[in-house]
Amino acid sequence: MISNRRYISILIIFVTTFILFQGLLLGRIIVSDIHVNKHAGQNALTASQSRKVSDSMKFDDLNSSYSGLKNMSYTLFVGADNSPYIKTVDEWCSYYDKTVLRSGALPEPGDFPLPDIIIMSPDTLKGSETSLEWYLNRGCDVLCLALPDVDVIEESQTLQSLLGIRKIRQKLVRLKGIHLFSGFFLGGERIYEEKPGAGEEDHSLDLTVPWYITRAKTKTYLRGILSDTEQRIADDARLKNEDMPSLIWSSRTHRGTVFSVCGNYFSSRKLAFGILSAVDYERKTYSLYSVVNAQVFSFVDFPVIANENEEGMQKIYGHGMDRFEADIVVPQLQTLESLFGYKTTCFMAPKYDYDDEADAQKDTIEYFLRIIHDIEGELGLSMRYKGQTTLKDKLDLDEDYYTAEESSYPIHAAFADKNDLSDVLKELEKHPMWNSIRTISLSPSDSLPFLSYVSEHVTVQQVTSDSLSHKYFQDLELIGLETALGYDNVMLRMSDSLWPESEEDEWQKVSRDSSSNMSTYYVPFSAFDKVAISESNARVRGYLSRSYTVKRDGDVITLSMPEYDDTASFVLRTHDELITSIEGGSFKEIENNAYLITPEGRRTRIYLHSTRKAMIFPEEVN
């Protein structure tokens, strides 16, 4: 039997323990400010202050004296007005603040300021050899976005010479893979190779190409890997590595350089951006350019607040919606933060299926706000839904659910499918609860720029990667876009696993594939910052309005901005030069010969040294 004294002592211990743990939890909630969206950055910049993607001017529209070209640095695009390449070139040049002029054919030689670089579509090369040689003799560089049919090249020895082609060994050869050499894109060396018997094959690359053998002193960036049969034939013919099929290469011709692309690599904007940026770097002694510096993870349609699809969830996962999200999905979110460093943006769906009668559950949003705060993430709103309703009614009901919890957390970001964008913008503008949204994570759209304003105050950031799919060509696209913009927006759409149509959609496989891809393909870009969507929005706004100048004097590069921008980041790429010190900023190495520069004022000075060896073993001074 317990005495009164001992009973009171035990009771005091229990009460103290209860108060201690509940007090810690309460203190954690109060101190952490879970209702503050700490990622909501500077939204003062608007569309009227930004650079816009506009149609390039026609070269022939300039008057005959070419007075409009005086003191102008410009890029000349040669191709038809309806060329599939012109929109890509225009967008890339707008991001890099370059002026583009376009011409249906290579302008005849004349007395006018020459372009900084000539970008030619494949249909314009035939018959342009004489004019092309004239430009090259005067130091112009040329980029051929793709090569014309092999028969066109075969019949013109002059064109072969200008392109740096020594021999056409075969009109078509079937490759088993491609080899991307390090130093062209950011991300390092890549080998993409078909491996029979290794499971599902990756047929995303076009591996049937002409076999061009380039001449000596060309620089190859992308080369084909022969099949075993073709390689044995090549070995018997005593062919060397440099005789293997070239896919992207450069050749010094006269005083200029010709960059050639053999294949469909400009069919993708993301990859095209990377090639344009890499070529811009290769033709200079160094390259310093502005980037967004944002790696975003968009977790779409999560959390779903209503306990929907009860029967289906119990059958597949053995849990209802609420327990499945809390017990199974939340640990995956925590893994994204702890292992990969992502500050996940969760685009909630207070209700997703409007044909399901389940209502949103009380205190669920508050629960997830605590989880999202702990992983340094952000809560946004998904504009996706299913069932018989309208977008307006959905937003009205979402407001009812959100205000019922008396949450004061401000929602500044939304996710939308590309086909719904115009309706979403229309409804957001007139909705008092949701018109605080300032950026939209958008499913991939070929009709819009990757990063842009869609109204005076709202930006769009396109999804650029799918965490569940990463084929060879998609990997090239990733490293291309990272090279050009230092930006990536990875998407995982949760509704597919909540209403799975096959075993491929079930969460066990989805989470495994997503984690595998995230831990493999995105590691080379860990120098770039992982941020939530609203912080990325602030960086996009700064990126789209940023102006700067770059000058070099000896071993010192000076970066100047008329106004200091605390969202500013730059990539510096050198050719075997190291940063010895920096004034007015900081830097970190992305990879060999590539650095991420963060200015800390209006002027940043970067001091370089020519070789690694000279830094490690400095020369003695006598």
- Segment 297-320, tens digit of pLDDT: 999 999 999 999 999 999 999 999
Distance CA 21, CA 551 (A): 59
Q: What are the two backbone dihedrals, phi and then psi, of residue 174, each rounded to the nearest 5 degrees?
A: -95, 115
**pLDDT tens digits along 422-456:** 999 999 998 989 999 999 999 999 999 999 999 99
pLDDT (0 to 100) of residue 112: 85
Res 23 pLDDT > 50: no
Domain ranges of the chain: 48-291, 294-540, 547-616
Beta-carbon count within 10 A of 408 CB: 9
Identify the weakest region by mean pLDDT among 196-205, 419-428, 457-466: 196-205
* Encoded tokens for 465: 């990667």
Q: 3-class DSSP state for residue 531? A: coil
* Encoded tokens for 553: 């004097």
Q: What are the two backbone dihedrals, phi and then psi, of residue 353, each rounded to the nearest 5 degrees?
A: -100, 105
- Classify residue 407 by burial, with Cβ atoms within 10 Å: 0-12, 13-18, 19+: middle
**pLDDT tens digits along 555-581:** 999 999 999 999 999 999 999 999 999
144: confidence class by pLDDT, cuts 50, 70, 90: very high
Q: Domain 48-291, what fold?
A: Rossmann fold (3.40.50)
Residue 466 · residue 488 · CB < 8 Å: no
Res 616 pLDDT > 50: no
* Encoded tokens for 607: 């001091």
pLDDT (0 to 100) of residue 270: 97
Residue 38's Cβ-side half-sphere holds a number of Cα atoms within 13 Å equal to: 12
Nearest to 97 by CA among 50, 143, 59: 50
Beta-carbon count within 10 A of 355 CB: 9
Q: Considering the entire predicted model, what is its pTM?
A: 0.91
pLDDT (0 to 100) of residue 329: 93
Nearest to 339 by CA among 191, 519, 193: 519
